[in-house]
Amino acid sequence: MPGDGFGQAFRVTTFGESHGPALGAIVEGCPPGLPLAEADLQIDLDRRRPGTGRHVSQRREADRVRIVSGVYEGRTTGTAIGLLVANEDPRSSDYRALAEVFRPGHADYTTFMKYGRRDPRGGGRASARETVMRVAAGAIARRLLETLAGVRIAGWLAELGPWRHEGPPPERTPENAFFVPDEAACPLLDAHLEEVRRARDSVGARVGVCARGVPAGWGDPVFDKLDALVAHALMSIGAVKAVEIGDGAAVVRQRGSEHRDPLTPAGFASNHAGGILGGISSGQDIVAHLAFKPTSSIPQEIATLDVRGAATTVAVCGRHDPCVGVRGVPVAEAMLALVLADAFLRQRAQCAGIAPPLGPFAPP
């Protein structure tokens, strides 16, 4: 019932605060025999890492992951996989000044009201640092999906400031500092974030994720629709305020004649649905978008309360991203991987012996 875990057949449970000694995760349900090394996880962790770009938080963390159980002689054993990452550069003193006030837009006030107390160092459990373990566990899910199901996941930055990605999802995650499909946009984005930072402000972003190779049939028809699980997973990332599947919010202004995707012997003729119909994957690309809010950690003063309820003001200095959405790309990929790994194993549980009555579509 507590919410530190995600998934049912493939399940990750995490612990760890921003300024504690370590972050950790337990990954349960991973099929045995999967080749898995720490380096497989490190790739994704390095992409998420703070301190790797000009515009991301300047906290220095190596984020070296250790696999402490569940892998023997380079392959998963099928038993619980334990993961650990040490916190090396917490600088808790940065936060001493903030222990007595609630930073607006953060979880400070709500955490305090929920539990009657809180660990104020770096946001405690509510820190973006919590996503380290999502990415580490997601990397295992990704491996599983690639190896056993031929599923590949890509994320990208879809909108930031004046720039917006037009065109289809990229084949793989773009390898540039902004994860933008068109590398030529990088200088523009760089200049924009510099301007935002100079304005002592922050900015939101839109991120896209896509899974290719998911066969028709994953997901469930009622409460655990595949899109509902994707929404749960993506909305659980800090700072996300909207999740859209396929055409998303634009469907409000569509007609049925426009939205429904025709079926042909060569496959679907379009993908307005985003690869999910009635909660079950259709065999098309699964496409989702997330909206990241602008971080509230900016050096402008704002009215707030202190922990005794008295009016005061606060300005959040320190090491902060002007756009948390950029680093959100690998986190969104990880969450999509966790949902799909779980859906894959759940489908095996119920339908392992069922041959799909129709073969894959003929190429057009």
For residue 16, give Cα distances in angstroms to 87, 281, 320: 9, 34, 20
Q: Within 328-357, which residues bind its own copies (CB under 8 A)? A: 345-357
Instruction: Determine how β-strand 286-292 pairs with β-strand 240-245.
Output: antiparallel
CB of 6 to its own copies, least distance (A): 4
Q: For the purposes of burial, counting CB atoms within 10 Å of the CB of 350, is it exposed (0-12), middle (13-18) or buried (19 or more)?
A: exposed
Q: Which of 93, 223, 363, 364 binds its own copies (CB under 8 A)?
A: 223
Which candidate, 250, 214, 205, 246, places its Cα nearest to that of 227?
A: 246
Size of the site for its own copies (CB under 8 A): 163
* CB-nearer residue toward its own copies: 191 or 269: 269
Q: Within 69-88, which residues bind its own copies (CB under 8 A)? A: 69-70, 72, 75, 77-82, 84
Cα 242 to its chain centre, rounded Å, is: 13
* Distance from C-alpha of 180 to C-alpha of 70, rounded to nearest angstrom: 36
Query: x/- contact string, 227-256, with its own copies (CB under 8 A)?
Result: xxxxxxxxxx-x-xxxxxxxxxxxxxxxxx
Interface with its own copies, residue 213, by CB under 8 A? no
Q: Which of 139, 280, 286, 326 binds its own copies (CB under 8 A)?
A: 280
Amino acid occupying residue 60: R
CB of 13 to its own copies, least distance (A): 5
* Distance from C-alpha of 191 to C-alpha of 178, rounded to nearest angstrom: 12
Spatial neighbors of 283 by CB under 8 A, at least 6 apart, are 214, 215, 216, 267, 268, 275, 360, 361
Q: Within 86-145, which residues bind its own copies (CB under 8 A)? A: 102, 104-107, 109-119, 124-126, 130
Q: Which of 43, 97, 302, 317 binds its own copies (CB under 8 A)?
A: 302
Q: Which two tokens stand for residue 158?
A: 């879809």
Q: Within 31-60, which residues bind its own copies (CB under 8 A)? A: 31-33
CB of 345 to its own copies, least distance (A): 4
